[in-house]
Structure formats: C-alpha cells, structure tokens
Structure 1
Amino acid sequence: MDSVLLVEDDRMLGDALEAALAQDGWRADRSEDVAAARLALVDHCYAAVLLDLGLPRGSGLEVLAGMRERYDTTPVLIITARDRLSDRIRGLDGGADDYILKPFQRDELLARLRAVVRRSRGRVAPQLRWRDLVLDPATRSVTLGGAPVALGAHEYRTLLALMECEGRVLARAHLEDRIYGGDGAIGSNTVAVYVHQLRRKLGEDVVVTVHGYGYRLGDPA
C-alpha cells in the first residue's frame, strides 16, 4: 500500500479525504501546518503529497519550495480554494505537478492523484541501481554483479522500499507498511529478519541500521 502525505488544516475535509484515499487503496499521513508537513517529509518517503495552500502559520507554497530546493521530486497535487490564476501559476511554477480547486469531486481528486503518481514513476529510470545491484520493478527481478538473486516477496518489498528512498532513513513502521500493506499480524522483529536475509544474500553493507529509528540503503560507494 503506497503512502501519501495529506497536508490540510480543515479537519472535517481532512477526515473525508483520508477515508476516500483509504477506499482507493492509499494510506494517508496527516499534517495540518507547514512545520508538521516539513517534518513528515524528512521522516518518510511518500508516493505523493496532497497540499493545501492556505495553512496555519505559513503557506503550502513554503512546503513545496522546501521540497524542490532539496531535490525532493515527490509529486505534489495542490488542493486549494484559491481560484486566482496567479495562485495556480505560482504553484505550478514552484514545482507542483497538478492543481485542483475546492470544492471538487472525490473521484476527480483520486484520478488526478493516480495520474501524477503514474507520470512521476514514468520519469524515473525503470531500473533501480546501487553499486552492482540492480532491481527491475517491471520484472520484479534482482541481479548482483549481473547474476540473478532469488528474493522472497517480503525481502523484495523491503529492498524496493529502501532503493526507492536511497539516502533516506525509513522508520521500521514505514517498512512494515510497505511489506504488508497494513494487513496481518506483524512481529516486533519482522523487518530485522528480512534485513538479515538481504544482508546474507546481497552483502552486509547493503542495509545500514539506524539504531532507535529504522534502516537506510548502504552508502553508494
């Protein structure tokens, strides 16, 4: 289950959007102001951000600017009541991928979200690489030094999450959600088991443990 960040200070609307996203197969984290949104973006790797512009103690444009300044290419769908053309231009010129005005239809929002995520994934290389390790999401295959490596489904999902967010630390809870999609009973050491298996098959330095928080992909060289 892919996660999105919903940045919206209207709690009633936020609750409705979170329910709609869940029905469409998304997990949503919520932030209600600029500071909380910035913190969430540092701590997690999202498939997309749904970003309101009118936020307490700042503007959604500040969140967007901060993302693009640090080369965070996570797709952003702006959701706002501001209907002036100049606001839309500022958002799109600032790096937003799409723009939808309130009030909007639930199905249109979900369709636009799916579209920006598809476009984003189409822009990146189809293969993910780390040193001589190659993961091909299209074929769900992994090779090391050109030789195929057999990974179980949960090992593959763990590696995919880490490689998609190379350079960032992923919390154990985030990895659990990527592995299981929020379903099933999860043991306290489940992620550690898959990390151990990946190290055994791909090398000890493929995954780095960040004690007290989670894991990240190893250094590129």
Structure 2
Amino acid sequence: MLLEARIHKFCFGQSTKARSKMRNIAIFGSGRVGATLATGLAAAGHSLKLGVRNPETARGKWTGPNAMFASLAEASRDASVVINATPGASSVECLSVLRAELKGKVLIDVANATVRGPDGIPSALLYPNSSLAEILQAALPETFVVKTLNTVLSPVMANPDLLRSPATVFVSGNDDGAKAVTRELLRDLGWSDRSVEDLGRIDSARGTEALILLVPYLIRSKGFANFALSVVR
C-alpha cells in the first residue's frame, strides 16, 4: 500500500449523494470548519444546532447557514450526533465537563491538537504520545468517539469533488455502530464509500493526527490549495 500525498487544484462538480437518516446534530465550534460542516449537513436535510461558549458573540460572526446557537450543554441535549470542531488545543477542556450530556451519543472528532510556532503554523503535536481522540474517549467513556476528516482542509470536508482525483478520508473508533453513523454522514457530505478507510480502534487516530505536521511543508512547497491524502493500492 502506498500513501501518496497529492496536491489537487480547484475544480467544480457535485457528486450524487445517497442521503442517510435525518438526524439531530450538534456542532461544537463556529469557525471555518464548523461553518463548512453545517453548510453540508444542512443541505442534506439534517437538523443542526451550534454549540458555542458565547452564543451571542458567535451568532454575530457566523458565516454558515441559518442555525440555532446555544451553549455546548444545551446544543448536545437533543442531539444524537455531536461534532467536535472546537480548536484542538482546548477540546479536552471544553468537552470533558459534558460527560453526562454526551453519554450514549456519537462524538465525531475532526480537530487536531497542535502546538503552534511563532508564525501560527502547527510545529508539534500537543499529545505526542497519544491523540486528542484517545484522550476524549478516556474522558468520556460512555460516549462513542470517532475520529475523521482531520486530514483534509475545511473546504474539502464537505465537498471532496473540489479535488481532481479521489481522496481518502480516515475513520478511527472503538464502536462499529458509531463508525457506521459516521460513514452515513460522510456520504451526505459527498464522500463515497470507497473513499473511506477504516483504520480500526481509536488509538489509530495517532497516525492521522500526526499527519497535520505534514501540512505546513506541503503549503510552503506547493502553495495554498485544496488538497488531501490518497491511499493508492
């Protein structure tokens, strides 16, 4: 198996999506990633609520579709799926206090926890001997954590057809049912079943989270463009 990093130039197109069961989804975080995922999931017909620390402030800066804003705890209350799009460096602090609210739910973690250099670019992993996903799973033992989408830039998360060639999206998690739900939502975002690579249990997230350190070098070498990794057999 060859893991090949491909830099793909921008192109247009939209794949046909087989829609999954409509779900109540909470998205934690209202930055670029949260807005991108909200746009894609709203277009697929899912009911969304944005969980943020300060709903009023976040609402004024929001660039995504019309959505309800609430505290993290309130947003997760009626959701069956929660997406962690908070900054990775603060994710554990934000989510570990929500053990009761997140009990029994699928938590899709798309964040990367890094130490940033003086230029603001990731220079090291915050959890070099573990992964953010593993730490979240340990802090939330009754929640089904799944790691995915953390190896692609935010525009590609909800529209892989931006790339000229098929990319690979990785999935890590301990619960097969939670991973099946994640696959359905990935399908709604335009990812084909063939594009999804199940790496196994949650500790495999160490591999995908480490790939964030490759991104600055690719950008410096090739320029800032939408790209993703492909597993080529």
- TM interval, shorter chain, is 0.3 to 0.5
- Could you state the TM-score of these two structures normalised by the residue count of structure 2? 0.38
- Could you state the TM-score of these two structures normalised by the residue count of structure 1? 0.40
Larger Rg: 1
In terms of fraction of residues, the more helix-rich structure is 1
